[in-house]
Chain A
Amino acid sequence: MRVNLIRPILIPFPLGIPGFFKTLVDHEVTVELKNDISIKGILKSVDQFLNIKLDDIQVVEELKYPHLSSVKNVFIRGSVVRYVHLPSAAVDTALLEDATRREAASQASKPR
């Protein structure tokens, strides 16, 4: 499963997304950064800016980025994240769909 997190900065990302990521805490995810580095690690926390804290990290292409091989945990600024690869088993897609529907509905009903 692959969730595209590239978002036009000007448009607010769905509010439920941080909550969604909260359910993935302690799961292994792979964070692909905008500088093409992919970091695999245990998700520790995500905040509302989608800043990500990873533990026990491992760079996917370790040979290419040896300088990261000794790093154990990272804090990733949300704005540099391109993708987050999620464990599909830990994602309830039906529920996620409903959540997005709810949010869309609540946003549509809100007066602009």
Chain B
Amino acid sequence: MSFFGFDSSRGHPAHGPGFGTAPDAFASISQHRGTGQVDDDEGIDFDDTYDGLGDQLEEADDDFNDDTFGGGESKNEPVGKDFDFFGSTSKVTGAINEEAVRYNRQQPPPKTTVAHSSPPKQDSKPYRTGYEAYKNPSYIPELQVDPGLWGTGPAKPANDYGFQQSQQGEYGSGPSQQRSSGAAPKIMMSLEEVEAAMRAQAKKPTPISEPQQQTQAPPQFSIPQMQQQLPAITRDTHQQVTTPYSHAMAPQNMNAQHPAAPPDFGSGQIRIQQRPSQQPSHHKHRSSQILQNEPPTRANSTPQIAPNLQATAPQQILQRGQNMPHQAPDAQESPRPRQILQNPNRHSAQFGPRTDGAPPSAQIQQRGPVAVPNGTNPTPVIYHPSQIMNLPEEERRLYLEEEAKRAKRNHKIFLLSKGNGLMTPQDKNFITRIQLQQLMTATGNVNEPDPDASLSEDFYYQVYNQIENRPRQNPQQPLSNFAQTYLFRTGGRQGGMGRRYRGGDSHMQRMEQQVQRAVEAAKAKPKNKQLVIEGSLGKISFSNAKTPKPLLNIRRHDSSDFASRSSGKKPQVALSTTDRKAILKNIEAVYSTLMKMEDHDRRQPPPPTNESDTLSIQAAAEWQQTWKDLNEKLWTDLKVNEPIMPESASLHPFIAFLSYPKGKKAIPRIFNHIDENQRLTILTLVLIHLDIIDVVRLAQPQPHGSQPSLMAREQVDLFLQTVMPSLFSYVTEAPLVVVIGMLGLATERLNMSAVARTRVGLEMLTMVLSRAAIIRAVEAPEDEIWNQWLAVYNSFFDTIEPLLGEIFPASVNAGQDQYVWQFLAATGSGANPEQQQRLVLAVKDRVMETLQQSKTLPPEMASQRRGNVNLFMQAIGLDVDLLDG
């Protein structure tokens, strides 16, 4: 007798298909046995070594082996190639591995989602691909294992599943797959047998029958119809393995009034005819199912039609029930209510009152223990999709949400895991190193000794950020080491994001260390910019982000060459200062010196704390010396000391310097780095050239009252913004002697009519005059000096008086005459009463015009205009209000 239906005497087909590669422990033995006579020389006979235990095996109770393993036909047919378990399984190893991973991932959550979600998938995949042979109708019609067979408790299916899982994990080969899935119906049957026995003891009308065994069918016929329907329901789960007898039985159960027992296909139609009006949607559903099954062969249709029949049974129950409308949708949606068995706690409430109570309650009692875990679990355990439909609305929603979430997560994991294992750790390491090197080269060389040098790389960005007050933890922090800063920051972010990712933290630490090492290595290794391969004709030059590959090598002028040329030109420089290029070069020289001085200022050592600290004293002295040198250089660059040649056609170099925006902008910075005398020199120089400086020369009012050119106005604004405040800051502290000298110079040497018509000119004069007024008020200077001032002032007043009518820009309406009123006020404050009278006479018309015009203006502007005028009026002891009155 053979277990698998093979002729065991043939021995194991060691070289048969599918087993060829698998090592067979018995292969050698059987071979020895088969070729025993030939191998006698070796002196080992199988019979000698075989203890004969196999003969003692009990060979009974294997009647259903053929049903189970499909070996029945193999007696008649030769073993086909269909038995290629390994080959077909290897096709699905991917799926198996996936499932294994998925299972492992789902282990942690305490919920038993694994148990109710995975088995269906587990079943469907291997069957679809690996067992085509069983699609053959001559085999068992459909071997789909219904997960519902495992009952309601989550523990059992989980175990079962775990068992399958472990088997697949260990073997991953066909035979085990076959065995486990093949064993499923077997297990189910034994369960049912046990149950059947129990029910038989508990109740006389046994609701459960053994569908496979016809001998148990007769009792069903004796049971009242209502009760007979329940077995039909319960049997639904067994339909996959039932023999054709079941459908012969089912119609009888349901339709006693049709004793003819039409084929089940027909019975479905009968049902439709019976209740057309009550369940239209149900009919549609049913008929569509039937249509899908057409044309069914009798043998083939059994498992598919049978559920339909089962489904109709509860329909009947429901229709006869008291609260039919409430129940109908539920039943409609669930044509296969086998959940009655699986979830008796839930569904007995629905079905109990309508089904005489007895059989369901018996089921409840029997099933109770199994269902307990289900009851304790807040979320229902689902083994089959149709179960969901029977859940209460709330739970169904929850379940579906949960399910959707899980599916989404799984999908995500799947997507993410696509690239798993694509790169080896070495690959990753390699990439990381490349990235780090990029980072280093992109952010500057770390081994620059001078922090300022690296600052120059990204100077604008750094300083701009400092100016913009962006948070910088430490201004002294070396700005070079971006790689580390960057990584540190991201590391901090990672750490802050979640403490739970400890692994991430340590990873970042490792990265930091790696950066450190990479930086060290880069320091140690000299950079080769070129590679000369032996025997090659050229060089290969490397490029990176910092030093792009120079494809074109333009020879620079040698600096010595440059110097000699400029030194050769030196005598000409003074003469050719109008030369734009020379002037710009001067400006650049000033700037570079300025920047050096500013850098030098930053490096100023702290003042020595005590006398004995010679080192710091020395450092301070050195710093001072360097400062002096630089200051001298700056002074030379400014060319302030170039001889003033009043009759020369060319501008003084410094005035030319000031005629460029760049030069104007440099003044405030220059004033920070020069001493008082130098400031005075500059101020004097500007004052002397006030009538020819660009902001005066170009800003002369145009004959037709039109404005000076846009460029000139921009220059004036720039001058007022940059140069004037610097000069003013000096003048506000200048002694009276200086003020006297300045006014004297201006009166003597300047073309007053040109100066007085421009804003810059007037403001310069205002500056000087107002300083004198302040000095008189605050310091009460000695009479002798004051008399000197008065003399100079009188001379100035005489010069300026005839011009007073022309100093106003444009018309009254423009309203840009504030500085004029300021000038008049400054002049008036220093004037004697007679001069004041002349002053008033000169500008009387303008005063009246302005006041008149201010009345037509909105209050705000009007008060401003009046304020301007009033400034002058008060300076001479009057008030605009007097004029109004």
Q: Which residues of A contact B (CB under 8 A)?
A: 8-12, 15-16, 19-20, 22-23, 48-49, 92, 94-99, 101-103, 105-106, 108, 112
Contacts and interface: CB of A to CB of B under 8 A. Distances in A.
5 contacts: A19-B458, A48-B442, A92-B464, A94-B665, A102-B595
Contacts of B859: none
A97 B660 CA distance: 14
Contacts of B665: 94
B634 to A, nearest CB: 15
B797 interface: no
Contacts of A102: 455-456, 459, 595
B414 interface: no
Contacts of A9: 551
A22 B461 contact: yes
Contact of B548 (A12, A92, A95, A97): A12
A96 B548 CA distance: 22
A105 B592 contact: yes
A22 B453 CA distance: 20
A49 B543 CA distance: 13
A95 B554 CA distance: 29
Given A23-B465, A48-B545, A16 B592 contact: no
A89 to B, nearest CB: 13
A97 B592 CA distance: 11
A9, A94, A99 — most chain B CB neighbours (10 Å): A99
Contact of A96 (B460, B465, B546, B662): B460
Given A23-B464, A23-B465, A97 B662 contact: yes
Contacts of B467: 92, 95
A101 B584 CA distance: 13
B257 interface: no
B629 interface: no
A16 B479 CA distance: 14
Given A16-B457, A23-B468, A102-B459, 10 more contacts: A8-B552, A9-B551, A10-B551, A94-B665, A98-B463, A99-B463, A101-B591, A103-B456, A106-B453, A108-B559
Contacts of A8: 552
B460 A112 contact: no
Contact of B591 (A15, A49, A98): A98
A101 B592 contact: yes
Nearest to B669: A94
Contacts of B565: none
Interface in B545-561: 545-548, 550-552, 554, 556, 559
Nearest to B450: A106
Nearest to A103: B456
Contacts of A101: 588, 591-592, 595
Contacts of A16: 456-461
Closest 4 CB pairs of A and B: A19-B461, A99-B460, A10-B552, A19-B458
Given A12-B547, A92-B464, A95-B464, A103 B552 contact: no
Contacts, number: 75
A19 B552 contact: no
A103 to B, nearest CB: 6
Interface string B589-610: 0011001000000000000000
B392 to A, nearest CB: 46
Contact of B459 (A10, A11, A49, A98): A98
Given A48-B545, A98-B595, A11 B552 contact: yes
B709 to A, nearest CB: 20
Interface string B128-139: 000000000000
B457, B465, B554, B592 — most chain A CB neighbours (10 Å): B457
Given A97-B662, A101-B588, A105-B592, A23 B461 contact: yes
B445 to A, nearest CB: 12
A48 to B, nearest CB: 5
Nearest to A106: B456
Contacts of B545: 48-49
A6 B465 CA distance: 26
B592 A19 contact: no
B759 to A, nearest CB: 23
A102 B595 CA distance: 8
A99 B468 CA distance: 16
Contacts of B457: 15-16, 19, 103, 106
A19 B460 contact: yes
B465 to A, nearest CB: 7
Contacts of B463: 95, 98-99
A112 B588 CA distance: 22
Given A97-B662, A101-B588, A102-B595, A10 B460 contact: no
A22 B662 CA distance: 25
B856 to A, nearest CB: 35
Contacts of B464: 23, 92, 95
Nearest to A20: B460
B591 A95 contact: no
Contacts of B462: 19
A28 B455 CA distance: 27
Contacts of B453: 106
A101 B458 CA distance: 12
